[in-house]
Chain A
Amino acid sequence: MAHTESNQSLNADYRLFDPVERTGTAFYLVVATLLAVAGWGFYAWTRQLEEGLCVTGLNRPVYWGFYITNFVFFIGISHAGTLISAILRLCHAEWRRSITRAAEVITVLVLFFGVGNIIMDLGRTDRLLNVVLHGQFRSPLLWDVTSVSIYLTASSIYLYLPLIPDIAMLRDRGMKFKWLYRMLALGWSGTESQHRILNRAISIMAIAVIPIAISVHTVVSWVFAMTVQPMWHSTIFGPYFVAGAIFSGIAALIIAMALIRKAYHLEAYLKPIHFNHLGTLLFVMTLLWFYFTFAEHLTSYYGAEPAHMAVFWMKVSGKFAWAFWTMVVTCFVIPFVILCNRWTRTVSGTVIASVSITIGMWLERFTIVVPTLANPRLPYEKGIYHPTWVEVSITAGCVAAFILLYILFTKLFPIVSIWEVQEGRERALADAEERIRVYLPSEDVRLQETTP
């Protein structure tokens, strides 16, 4: 009886293969549009390679602009996946099952664009390998190279491991790319011992990936905090950046889930309850973000060192006030209002909050990078920064290319982990019941207490 039931549910879950196996015209239209934007961005990059960084709006003293902002932003987004999925897995949060993969894919793919922006920022892209050949380990940039490489490796493994049973299912259905799926399935046949090994490997990676993820964004913040420049040289930067990364990561995940839900009609798998739970998490991060931002700016303001104040006023009431106050509204006011109650913490509510946060967090990175450089310690060299079409195009191209890769992933692999959803149906209920029983006082204890 139980067997037939699970078979029925298995058949129902087969609709998760639909995006992989069926493709409509809308897909080609979207791909063509994204390709066009990404191609334009690539063209802009070739112009920059040809003529040098003079095609950007960068100057002295604003040596860093859009690219470094994008770098910090994209690496931040990458915390969506691996970190959130790892924490949810380790906490046995059962509602994670249909969202972990969507999160993990963001991590792996967006990392390429984080790294890509650093590479595009280099004056001598051709000498990139010097970082490996002549690495100087006192430089926080090299710490970055190290931790991002480890993170990319670990999160790729962490994405791949839970994919194996699903790839095996794709192999067995034998539709397209059979050779690819056979190779990637590593001979998975779903035996009890294979499951045991896989679950163990996933647990190990879930634990390993958390400190790695935290180290990555801490080190990204240290690129700034290790210098003596005003409002960069701050001890709060490590945790501030990590919190901001998780914040923007969750927001990106909610947007991705909503798009997948809409495009592939997965309302049955990505339910309002998932958005509600993630929305609660996002609300906590909203408060945390506000706390960090407030603490950081109040400390600078109260101390009132002239070098810091120059940066402070440029952010609060000067040339970058538009960016700063938009950031406050989009990162705090809007998400706070939407997420603080369950009536607006709906699918569309959380999506609006997430889009707002994504814009706000980009602006946060921007207002960290540029105003400090525009107000150097020696206060006579003031700078201002206006990005050019090249920087805007490359930024748009990166976003488009990221979405494109994400869509292509959903066309190759199921974006909702099928075997984990099934495991949830078949085993998790009993597991959860067992777990809850362990928390409660046992029957004999209660008996002993009641007897005089």
Chain B
Amino acid sequence: MPKWGMVIDLDKCTGCQACVVACKTENNIPFSTPEQAEMGRTISWIEIIPIMEGEYPRPKLRYLPRPCLQCDHPPCIKVCPVYATYRNPEGLVGQVYSRCIGCRYCTAACPYTAKYFNWSAPTWAKEFEPCLNPDVSKRPKGVVEKCTFCHHRLQKAKEKVKAEGRELKDEDYVPACVQTCPAGAMYFGDLDNPNSKVTQQTKSPRAFRLLEELGTEPKVIYLTEGEWHGAYRK
């Protein structure tokens, strides 16, 4: 059983937001309004968090792309009262939209603030409606959602390799954000395969995981920008 994981090289990330756009399009993320965005209600499964450090005249701006970290020990799944969020055998943390009661306990328990709530019914611009991805369900109002590592792509890949009668390889399955990243800062693959690109990357001395001390064992591994190794762990 593969263990899917992602590596994000912060040295390469330019903060261009292409991954965010790709994710929103791929996963039918509803449009927000300026008022709702101001209130902090925009849904964005992957988010480029801008981090300001220092003050004028020496300010520093850094970017941290943050999808769901797909923890191996997710604090969110323990607290769900109805099994609407769970960890599957391949390590992906799933959401069951039709089961969720919208209590927002998982969103409150996630230390990474990586879960989103549908405050109102989803809306898209009329012109955009035909562009919705048929592989991903639209979420109703009142339920929680988050990054799934484009799980629907894994389903498709599995069907494809089954039809072709071969084993699933790392290249068969890649989330939209990783596929899009123009800077080549994101890698995706099987963390249990010692020869995979991601496994090789995690051996880098630059590798770290967000809030590692909480023991959540995230499967998104970051490579720091050389000189500020560990700065995120505060």
- A: residues with CB less than 8 A from B are 51-54, 57-64, 118, 121-124, 127-128, 130-131, 134-136, 138-142, 145, 223, 226-229, 306, 373, 376-381, 383
Contact = CB atoms under 8 A, between A and B. Distances in A.
B136 interface: no
Contacts of B143: 123-124
B119 A141 contact: no
A52 B36 CA distance: 13
A450 B66 CA distance: 86
Contacts of B117: 53, 60, 63, 123
Interface residues of B, number: 44
Residue among B64, B80, B101 facing the most chain A CB atoms (10 A cut-off):
B101
Nearest to B86: A136
B41 A59 contact: yes
Given A63-B107, A130-B84, A141-B79, 8 more contacts: A59-B41, A60-B117, A61-B113, A121-B103, A124-B102, A127-B101, A128-B101, A380-B50
Interface string B103-121: 1110111011100111111
Contacts of A226: 78-79
B185 to A, nearest CB: 19
B48 to A, nearest CB: 11
B61 interface: no
B153 to A, nearest CB: 26
8 contacts: A52-B118, A123-B102, A124-B142, A134-B99, A145-B81, A226-B78, A381-B40, A381-B113
B104 A123 contact: yes
A5 B117 CA distance: 68
- What 5 A-B pairs are tightest by C-beta distance, nearest first? A123-B102, A123-B142, A377-B111, A59-B40, A54-B120
A1 B135 CA distance: 90
A190 to B, nearest CB: 47
Contact of A378 (B112, B142, B144): B112
B225 to A, nearest CB: 16
B83 interface: yes
B103 A123 contact: yes
Given A64-B104, A227-B109, A52 B119 contact: yes
A226 B54 CA distance: 35
A122 B142 CA distance: 8
> Main secondary structure on chain A at its contact with chain B?
loop
Contacts of B116: 60
B81 A379 contact: no
Contacts of A131: 81-82, 101
Contact of B82 (A61, A121, A130, A376): A130
Interface string B139-158: 00111100000000000000
Given A52-B141, A61-B40, A141 B109 contact: no
B234 interface: yes
A135 to B, nearest CB: 7
B118 A123 contact: yes
Contact of A141 (B103, B118, B214, B234): B103
Contacts of B101: 122-124, 127-128, 130-131
Contacts of A63: 104, 107-108, 117
Given A123-B102, A227-B109, A383-B40, A54 B119 contact: yes
B228 to A, nearest CB: 15
Contacts of A60: 40-41, 107, 113, 116-117
